Amino acid sequence: MKKVSLFTPCFNEEGNILELYEAVRKVMDSMPQYEFEYVLIDNDSQDKTVSILREICEKDPRVKVIVNQKNFGPGRSGCYGFLQTTGDVSICFAADLQDPPELIPEFLEKWEQGAKVVWGRKAGDEEHGLIKLCRKAYYSIIKLFSDEEQYTNVSGFGLYDREVMDMIAEVDDPIPNFRHLIADFGYSVEFVDYVKPNRKKGKSSYNFWRYYNTAMDSLVGTSTQPLRLITLFGFILAIICFIIGLVYLILKLIFWNSFSAGLAPLLIGIFFLGAVQIFFIGILGEYLGSVLTRLKRRPMVVEKERINFEKSNTGEKES
């Protein structure tokens, strides 16, 4: 019997976690041809999330929980937890019910047909305003600069074959980005379109800075084009400055008494060049920070506790 691993990272999701589990259990119990495990990793929740997970684990040995020592961030915690799954195929989705578990049968159907990666793709959502505009700009920038083909309107929600999971686990990266690695590996991707609903309970742990960090990590991790643009822009700017300086010199020599450049062009030039330098130093800093993170070689997370990992689907000890 094929084994399906399901995975969810969670942080302060006391309002959603029980409903999510019931939805997942209902879907998987409707497919008795599959054995399954449901792995959840808690990122040091400060509400009743862990208590609810303990109660679920007591009733269902197929549910396995990892509790972190502290909040290691959604990227590190999510990657680590997902790599702890052991099934022939692994499916990840968020705890906020915005990634519908009802899509699991469609993912598995495409997997049975030979697909190694199946992603949920947002055909639409209930977002509006600035967030939607920023998200669209983010995808456009990543596609523009990336060295590999990138996919839009996907969050990583979807299915990964064990072959793909093993390759991701072998990557020497402290925080592997699954979406970008798939493009690097060259796997073809199948899609299941869906409309993403808004969060109905609780509050997202993502804020502006986390979205910004995710965007910068994606840009740095997928392309070296910004570094080349710095060199190109610096070369072009040097030529422009040389030409302007030459023109001013000629005008001053020709109209020595009547031509006065004034301080305005000088001040504008100084502030412009200063802003460009700070911007480019920031880009270089992002790449240096990425290198430093890899050199530290620290663990993704430190576990506080594991629940039900010693049990099989029948509640017996694993061999």
CB 174 within 8 A of CB 291: no
Which residue did the predictor score with more confidence, 226 or 81?
A: 81
- CATH of span 2-127+154-206+299-307: 3.90.550.10
The pLDDT assigned to 205 comes to: 60
Rounded to the nearest 5 degrees, what angle is found at the Cα of 257, between the Cα atoms of 252 and 262?
65
What would the pLDDT profile of 10-58 be if each residue is shown by its tens digit? Answer: 999 998 999 999 999 999 999 999 999 999 999 999 989 999 999 999 9
The pLDDT assigned to 202 comes to: 58
The DSSP output letter for 311 is B
Instruction: Name the helix (H) or strand (E) containing 37.
Output: strand 34-42
- Asked if residue 211 has pLDDT above 70, the reply is no
**What's the distance, CA 209 to chain centroid?**
14
The DSSP output letter for 129 is T
Q: What is the mean pLDDT of the chain?
A: 81
d(CA 85, CA 166): 11
Lowest mean pLDDT among 122-136, 137-151, 246-260, 264-278: 122-136
Its sign, for the CA torsion 135, 121, 165, 225, is: negative
Side chain identity, residue 85: T
Its sign, for the CA torsion 289, 292, 296, 300, is: positive
pLDDT bracket for residue 104 (50, 70, 90): very high
153 Rama sector, left if φ>0, alpha if ψ -120 to 50, beta otherwise: left
pLDDT bracket for residue 81 (50, 70, 90): very high
- Asked if residue 96 has pLDDT above 70, the reply is yes
